[in-house]
Structure 1
């Protein structure tokens, strides 16, 4: 038996499928279109072959930090702000109506509007969520009342029209943040709160986890659920960082 056979066959890992790092220096430069990320002095493109250009120097620097932190291989999973930029440039600019429509669907069955029948859980939900409903009515012009149980809450055309008008005023970067934050939290209101800087990313994520936190306190939380929550928190923080950098 050869030494190679004794050692066994090495199975390919996820890292093996990742592209190798092909650059040494990462920098940002100002152009006529905005701030571009450069690898060894050359600009790079998005998956759809568009130029990767940020509207602000701060945002470009955040992306540059992600690229500079890569090791021998490039792992997109560790580059959430760059992925958000790809979405803003490749998708949001041409799919505005679809992104807005999806966010409005969430508003009709918004997480913050549906309260549990358990008294303690309902109290926590009210403490955490009522202020967002009040803010939505006062600032966004959308009256979205809360209901108890799983039955859909009543949503008026006026409320949806108010949210739609607000979303239509967003640029591609803000719209990307709205779409991603809404899907991540199951709440259009939390998505708007983050884009409008009414709440921080940590506050938004914490508000989205009231039910899960309550259940974990009573029944425990397994390692897989905890890992998923941490991953989602990281994604939410990245969205918040992008908004603050615009």
Structure 2
């Protein structure tokens, strides 16, 4: 019997590991990861330099953990660093505008119609909205339904002012956390240390967890949730290393 033709896998397309030793070295402007004594470049060919040794060590661990192939999806902190250096440095206004866009459609503001779900949403989400009003000076009232909620210029300006004060690393964290949770409030909460990454991610999953409890959850949804949680934990790890 003829052996079937083996189809190429995703792993086959990944670059082979070409280095043995990974080290962290102090350099101009911060700390860099070296592979066999040579520095790393970002996709845009910038030097991969971290502002702290702790952050560089997180990236070094990701590079050291690679097997025969280099898989970027297993290196979330390194990818965040690429974003900070390649994208955030020259696109601050665009990142802030994208974060502010979530304010009107913020996950935490939009409540369902099922009484049990609404109770759960209020229990988990209202403290974050109260915090946003008190600490960020942005009042973002909750509404029922999916239509964009009314957002005052004062609230938008307050959020913008807070984001403008972030360096490129924290701004990258804010942008990624906001997109991941579909909530600017949760993004700010993570960057500002209002809540842990676990709590922020759990808050972003209230609706999904409610549906799963009532109707079940398939393997694909579970895998996706695990991947997103990993990304959220990586953002938090980067923030703590700054």
Query: Shared topology, TM-score over 0.5?
Result: yes
Quote the offset at 1:101 in angstroms.
0.2
Aligned to 1:223: 219
Root-mean-square deviation over aligned CA pairs: 0.9
Quote the offset at 1:113 in angstroms.
0.6
Aligned to 2:163: 167
Aligned to 1:182: 178
Aligned to 1:51: 47
| Whole-angstrom distance in 2 between the partners of 1:53 and 1:150 | 42
Q: How many residues align?
A: 242
Alignment equivalent of 1:86, drawn from 73, 82, 89: 82
Secondary structure, aligned partner of 2:235: helix
Aligned to 2:198: 202
Alignment equivalent of 1:14, drawn from 6, 10, 23: 10
| Whole-angstrom distance in 1 between the partners of 2:27 and 2:72 | 25
Aligned to 1:124: 120
- 1:3-58 Cα shifts (integer Å, max 9, x gaps): xx822222111111110101000010111210101101111100000000001111
Secondary structure, aligned partner of 1:140: coil
| Whole-angstrom distance in 1 between the partners of 2:221 and 2:36 | 40
| Whole-angstrom distance in 1 between the partners of 2:10 and 2:151 | 45
**Structure 1 unpaired stretches of 5+:** none
Quote the offset at 1:149 in angstroms.
1.9
Secondary structure, aligned partner of 2:18: coil
| Whole-angstrom distance in 2 between the partners of 1:12 and 1:181 | 34
| Whole-angstrom distance in 1 between the partners of 2:147 and 2:93 | 27
Moved over 6 A (4+): none
Secondary structure, aligned partner of 2:2: helix
| Structure 2 length-normalised TM | 0.98
Alignment equivalent of 1:101, drawn from 76, 85, 97: 97
| Whole-angstrom distance in 2 between the partners of 1:150 and 1:12 | 43
Quote the offset at 1:108 in angstroms.
1.2
| Whole-angstrom distance in 2 between the partners of 1:242 and 1:11 | 37
Is the contact made by 2:105 and 2:147 (CA closer than 8 Å) also made in structure 1? no
**Structure 2 unpaired stretches of 5+:** none
| Whole-angstrom distance in 1 between the partners of 2:41 and 2:28 | 16
Aligned to 2:210: 214
| Whole-angstrom distance in 1 between the partners of 2:78 and 2:148 | 36
Quote the offset at 1:121 in angstroms.
0.3
| Whole-angstrom distance in 1 between the partners of 2:10 and 2:214 | 36
